[in-house]
Structure 1
Amino acid sequence: MKKPQTSARSKRASTGTGLPNFVALVQRYKKAVMGIEVVQTMPVRGLGSRPLLPWDRSQPRSGRPAMNIGTGFVFHPKGYILTNEHVVSDGDRIMLRVFGKKDPVEAQVVGRNRTHDIAVLRADIPVPSPILRIGQSKDVRVGEWVLAIGSPLGLDNTVTVGIVSAKNRPLQIGDRDYPNLIQTDAAINRGNSGGPLINLRGEVVGMNTAVSQSSQGIGFAISADILKKEVDQILKHVT
């Protein structure tokens, strides 16, 4: 009996050689992403047990300061850095761990929108080239590849990959309402908050914000259209 012929396409699919290569994207944009450490000297209340958490903090003991961690990325030609407002809220000092720099650099909040969980920072650092550009939500397709770059557990420049699992997810987390979240199965962990979710064209389609603590492969990102709209409003008031 004659053996059935196997097409080149099916061979690629079976061997995995047809999968996207993310190396070029990571190399191109890794300098635009940085880890964030926020020190808070005032005690914070415990978050309790929640099925969805946008962040986590170390709780102060014996008067020691609390530490919050997250991620930010340069999105503007003037070097402005985007992150989640919950990452930097109530912080006394905001320190950036910049790619290629040995010592952390202090940053300042130049504007924030608590409702949409967005903050813009500025720091005395060279503007990387290229920066990360915010795309458009209408171009996001369920099932397309995306990658997340961030600092989960403080491990800078960690890359995870997945797909867009769903769009337009409205969720309430704590006392914040998040409309039109992008759901992804790219691994999102504590410290990824504020980091970019990037498509294969190198566009930021979302900002990683929350993860389900009771399951795996369910993370959420603020959509690009909301980021664009709210960031434009913030920058109008920045001198």
Structure 2
Amino acid sequence: MKKFLGLFLVSFLGGLFSLGIYKVYFEKDAIIVENKDETPKFITTNYANPAAVRPIVSAENVDFTEAAEKTVHAVVHVQNVTVNKRSGSILDFFYGSEGRRDRAQVGTGSGVIISPDGYIVTNNHVIANSSHLRVKLNNNKVYDAELVGSDPGTDIALIKVDTEENLPFLAFGDSDNTKIGEWVLAVGNPFNLTSTVTAGIISAKARDLNENDRRNQSFIQTDAAVNPGNSGGALVNTNGDLIGINTAITSQTGSFVGYAFAVPSNIAKKVVHDLLEYGNVQQGILGVRGGGLNSAYAERIGVDDTEGFYIDEVIGNSGAEKAGLKKGDIIKKMDNVEISKYSDLTGYLGSKRPNDVIDVTIKRNGRTQVVPVTLFKNQSYRINLLNIEVDNLSKADKQRFNVDYGVKVSNVTSQRGTYLLDKILLEVDGKKVKNVDDVRRIFDSYADYEGPESIVVLDGKGEKERLIFE
């Protein structure tokens, strides 16, 4: 028995030695590609000049060929290469880790060329955490791409390829002029099947998939088939106008089951322009708090309307206050857009910037009136994960705390945030925050179930404190 165990041990060590020699000296240093298989209930779809108002054509008269021909050449295949460090193994113990290789994961999605010089709009989740981006055109040409900027809140990103030739592109259409029941095409690369075109109708507008989400969502809903890989692709009307960026599906299986969702083109266009001009998204704030009306809410507050946005509070020194909006007013329309629920309001404001002037139609004491309101730049942000609200620092705050960066905790949304009240938030997970825009970008990057590992705050005595969350 001892002789047998001795022979087995010698054979085992000899095998490990031979395997180690082979991996260190003979095995090629190739990239290992892992296909991701994620099937949660709600998933995003990767992984793997304004249009004029048009009459809606009947189904028997619809011709998709012109729109498809115009679109397929402007939709690209986006590859996101993410390199993950491999964990150690028993081979590292015997032979060290020099021969070990990092593992590269490749996620795929779609993108839309929006200018002849190579700017491409896609989804933020398509390019997130990328080590390298590649873009493949419909003519099979492949380009390296660089990230220009992204906005996790709207799930829009802008990338660019360098090319000496003019590329086919799509111009942004006007998503506000789309109609429920209108025919649309979804163009993308589902399951790595390039240049795939599917048809459907617009099923709903201003759709909020999760009312409890901290982001303000306002999607175009369609029944055109969208599957993993379509993320970042084009949603176009029968004229070939870009009216949305395909972004998400709801599914028990991870594949299309009847509904898909796209970021409206007016929001995507505004985000792209902000990223190019400012490097971040400029949000125009109306300056009111409240909620969308329904039967239960209307009965509770004692109003007859069941559609519209009820103003419960007007923020001081905001455009809404300066324009004379009051608590109890019901917003029924903004410019020419009907407001029947909260996502209608947030969706339209998502396409606007600070200092834009919009005509707000309100109902007050049974009478309807139109009030012009100048939007202002947001100076505060509510961090639901920490149960606090933060404001940009005033000159008095900077002098009092002897600091030139950070945001002040001005309010708490529950008892849990009381400890942080009247302190200065300086860092989140090692990232310095200068203003509420920095805070918004950081917290928008976290998944709904995630949060920061640590923050650094400054109290009135000038003492810094690091808080670690588990």
What TM-score, normalized to structure 2? 0.41
State the alpha-carbon separation in 1 of the partners of residues 140 and 212 from structure 2.
35
Give the structure 1 partner of residue 117 of structure 2. 78
Contact 2:78 2:134 in 1 (8 A): yes
State the alpha-carbon separation in 2 of the partners of residues 178 and 206 from structure 1.
17
Q: Read off the aligned partner of 1:117 and give its amino acid letter.
A: D
Deviations 1:138-197 (A, max 9, x none): 211000000011000111100000000000011249977352100000001000000010
State the alpha-carbon separation in 1 of the partners of residues 175 and 240 from structure 2.
14
State the alpha-carbon separation in 2 of the partners of residues 21 and 141 from structure 1.
18
State the alpha-carbon separation in 2 of the partners of residues 63 and 213 from structure 1.
33
Q: Does 1:232 align with 2:273?
A: yes
Give the structure 1 partner of residue 65 of structure 2. 23
Give the structure 2 partner of residue 139 of structure 1. 177
Give the structure 1 partner of residue 135 of structure 2. 96
Q: Which shifted more, 213-222 or 62-71? A: 62-71
Report the CA distance shift for 1:237/1:146 in structure 2 as closer, same or farther (over 3 A).
Answer: same
Report the CA distance shift for 1:133/1:174 in structure 2 as closer, same or farther (over 3 A).
Answer: farther
Give the structure 2 partner of residue 58 of structure 1. none
Deviation of the 1:137 alpha carbon? 2.0
State the alpha-carbon separation in 1 of the partners of residues 139 and 170 from structure 2.
18
Residue of 118, 121, 133 corresponding to 2:156: 118
Give the structure 1 partner of residue 143 of structure 2. 105
State the alpha-carbon separation in 2 of the partners of residues 174 and 134 from structure 1.
30
- Higher strand fraction (1 or 2): 1
Deviations 1:37-70 (A, max 9, x none): 1111127xxxxxxxxxxxxxxxxxx953222110
Residue of 196, 219, 231 corresponding to 2:260: 219
SS class of match (1:95): strand
**Bigger Rg, which one:** 2
Q: Read off the aligned partner of 2:222 and give its amino acid letter.
A: T
Q: Read off the aligned partner of 1:96 and give its amino acid letter.
A: V
Contact 2:117 2:162 in 1 (8 A): no
Give the structure 2 partner of residue 39 of structure 1. 81
Report the CA distance shift for 1:176/1:72 in structure 2 as closer, same or farther (over 3 A).
Answer: farther
Deviation of the 1:78 alpha carbon? 3.1
Q: Read off the aligned partner of 1:115 and give its amino acid letter.
A: G
Give the structure 2 partner of residue 163 of structure 1. 201
Report the CA distance shift for 1:85/1:175 in structure 2 as closer, same or farther (over 3 A).
Answer: farther
Contact 1:172 1:178 in 2 (8 A): no
Detail structure 1 runs of 4+ shifted over 6 Å in the superposition. 173-176
Give the structure 2 partner of residue 184 of structure 1. 222
Unpaired segments ≥5 residues, structure 2: 1-57, 86-100, 280-470
Contact 1:33 1:195 in 2 (8 A): yes
Unpaired segments ≥5 residues, structure 1: 1-12, 44-61
Give the structure 2 partner of residue 4 of structure 1. none
SS class of match (2:69): helix
User: Between the two proteins, what is the percent identity of the paired residues?
Assistant: 36
Size of the aligned set, in residue pairs, is 203
State the alpha-carbon separation in 2 of the partners of residues 105 and 178 from structure 1.
34
Deviation of the 1:210 alpha carbon? 0.3
Deviations 1:72-91 (A, max 9, x none): 01112432100001100101
State the alpha-carbon separation in 1 of the partners of residues 61 and 216 from structure 2.
32
Q: Which shifted more, 185-194 or 34-43? A: 34-43
Report the aligned-residue RMSD: 2.3
Deviation of the 1:124 alpha carbon? 2.0
Contact 1:169 1:179 in 2 (8 A): yes
